[in-house]
């Protein structure tokens, strides 16, 4: 009897091709649309109905059963509320990482397994092998940065059909299979609200923010901001201070509601070669102290060489009472931002990662 695979069918080309490939390989495939967010925002219509209909049409095209799992309540609590709280605290979170951790590879996986599935699958560009997470063949599309918090047990029950394909190859496969999503454009913006930007979303959720001072490297007030939560380290656009050299955000004080900027590209506050991570997650066995590793500080950022140091201190803001790690990089990296994920690699294997403090 063929193994049952429940595929997260989002209505996009990647998940559509994943279904076609798995069916071609002989799996008993069911398509599942995860309804995570359906709320419209002022001036922006949530695309969920279009995506749901596209997913359903693909299921009909490929002659597979189709279901919808409604995860809106859990998504709001686990992903959206977390993201808002992090921005309010002055950090820059990654909701896609939390979505994968809490929804796709926990809630979806558990629901699918209890519903009769042997495996789940998604259209992520990544590879799973014997409970390990490996980078995709297509380095430009590799999505392991967003998957580093997935567990070994979850990976053992997960298939990534696109891991050995490039994006152009996937488009060609979609055309070969005659899928209605073959020419559909990729969704942009926040993972759950389509085209709306993070500033617009935060304004909708939190309302108008209190204005404050923008202060330059000479401790001079050079302008006003419309909410410190909207600014992140390294940001250049949207400062509206004008005149002369461009300014870059190098810090902010949420208590005093101040944003700090500089015109100096070599400002020490913009560059760092020491990373301090908390809320650390290891997919398999933790590496040893003084291990040589590579890190990625943003999706599609080049990997940076470094040395891992295991620490056992408590986080200074008391969010976590867990072991911390420090990473000493061979070269300085620009615009490291508290709250962002740092993912740790050993060659093509993803070891894990943590949250920058």
The candidate with the shortest Cα–Cα distance to 88, out of 255, 240, 259, 242, is 255
Calculate mean pLDDT across residues 323-333: 92
The answer to whether residue 34 sits within a structural domain is: yes
Does residue 286 sit in the same domain as residue 254?
no
Choose the weakest-confidence range: 8-12, 153-157, 183-187, 202-206.
183-187
Does residue 49 sit in the same domain as residue 132?
yes
User: Which tokens in the block code for residue 59?
Assistant: 């299921």
The answer to whether residue 200 sits within a structural domain is: no
Q: Other C-beta atoms within 10 Å of 139: how many? A: 12
pLDDT in tens, 306-315: 999 987 544 4
Does residue 136 sit in the same domain as residue 233?
no
Q: Which DSSP symbol is given to 187? A: P
Does residue 136 sit in the same domain as residue 285?
no
Calculate mean pLDDT across residues 338-349: 97
Question: Residue 305 is part of a domain; what is its CATH number?
Answer: 2.40.30.10
The candidate with the shortest Cα–Cα distance to 98, out of 86, 120, 83, is 83
Task: Give the pLDDT of residue 318.
Answer: 47
Question: Residue 172 is part of a domain; what is its CATH number?
Answer: 3.40.50.620
Question: Residue 304: pLDDT above 90?
Answer: yes
Task: Give the pLDDT of residue 190.
Answer: 56
Question: Residue 324: pLDDT above 90?
Answer: no
The answer to whether residue 205 sits within a structural domain is: no
Question: Residue 257 is part of a domain; what is its CATH number?
Answer: 2.30.30.280
| Residue keyed to tokens 């014997």 | 130
Does residue 111 sit in the same domain as residue 89?
yes
Task: Give the pLDDT of residue 321.
Answer: 46
Task: Give the pLDDT of residue 301.
Answer: 93
Choose the weakest-confidence range: 134-148, 175-189, 328-342.
175-189
The answer to whether residue 183 sits within a structural domain is: no
Task: Give the pLDDT of residue 240.
Answer: 80
Does residue 146 sit in the same domain as residue 61?
yes
The answer to whether residue 96 sits within a structural domain is: yes
Does residue 285 sit in the same domain as residue 256?
no
Task: Give the pLDDT of residue 194.
Answer: 54
What amino acid positions are annotated as catalytic residues?
99, 191
Calculate mean pLDDT across residues 196-218: 90
Does residue 281 sit in the same domain as residue 154?
no
Calculate mean pLDDT across residues 162-178: 96
What is this structure's pTM? 0.92
Does residue 78 sit in the same domain as residue 132?
yes
Quote the domain boundaries for residue 342. Answer: 271-356
The answer to whether residue 196 sits within a structural domain is: no
Task: Give the pLDDT of residue 9.
Answer: 97
Does residue 37 sit in the same domain as residue 170?
yes
């Amino acid at each position: 009897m063929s193994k049952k695979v429940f595929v997260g069918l989002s209505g996009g080309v990647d998940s559509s091709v994943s279904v076609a490939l798995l069916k071609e390989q002989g799996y008993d495939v069911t398509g599942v649309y995860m309804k995570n967010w359906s709320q419209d925002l002022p001036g922006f219509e949530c695309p969920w109905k279009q995506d749901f209909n596209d997913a359903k049409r693909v299921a009909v095209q490929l002659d597979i059963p189709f279901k919808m799992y409604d995860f809106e309540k859990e998504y709001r609590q686990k992903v959206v509320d977390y993201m808002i709280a992090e921005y309010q605290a002055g950090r820059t979170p990654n909701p896609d990482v939390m979505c994968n951790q809490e929804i796709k590879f926990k809630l979806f996986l558990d629901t699918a397994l209890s519903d009769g599935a042997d495996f789940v699958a998604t259209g992520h560009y990544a590879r799973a092998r014997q409970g390990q997470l490996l980078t995709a063949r297509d380095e430009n599309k590799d999505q392991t940065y967003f998957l580093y918090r997935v567990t070994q047990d979850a990976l053992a029950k997960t298939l990534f059909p696109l891991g050995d394909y490039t994006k152009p190859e996937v488009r060609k496969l979609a055309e070969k299979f005659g899928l209605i999503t073959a020419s559909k454009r990729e969704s942009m913006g926040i993972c759950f609200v389509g085209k709306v930007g993070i500033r617009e979303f935060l304004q909708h959720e939190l309302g108008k923010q209190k204005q404050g001072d923008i202060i330059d490297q000479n401790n001079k007030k050079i302008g006003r901001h419309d909410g410190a939560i909207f600014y992140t380290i390294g940001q250049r656009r949207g400062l509206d201070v004008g005149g002369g050299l461009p300014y870059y955000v190098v810090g902010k004080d949420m208590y005093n509601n101040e944003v700090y900027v500089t015109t100096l590209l070599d400002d020490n506050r913009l560059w760092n070669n020491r990373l301090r991570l908390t809320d650390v997650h290891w997919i398999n066995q933790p590496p040893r102290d003084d291990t040589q590793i590579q890190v990625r500080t943003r999706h599609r950022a080049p990997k940076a060489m470094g040395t891992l140091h295991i620490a056992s201190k408590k986080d200074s803001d008391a969010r976590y009472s867990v072991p911390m790690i420090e990473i000493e990089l061979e070269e300085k990296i620009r615009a490291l931002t508290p709250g962002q994920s740092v993912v740790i690699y050993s060659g093509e294997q993803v070891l894990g990662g943590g949250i920058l403090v």
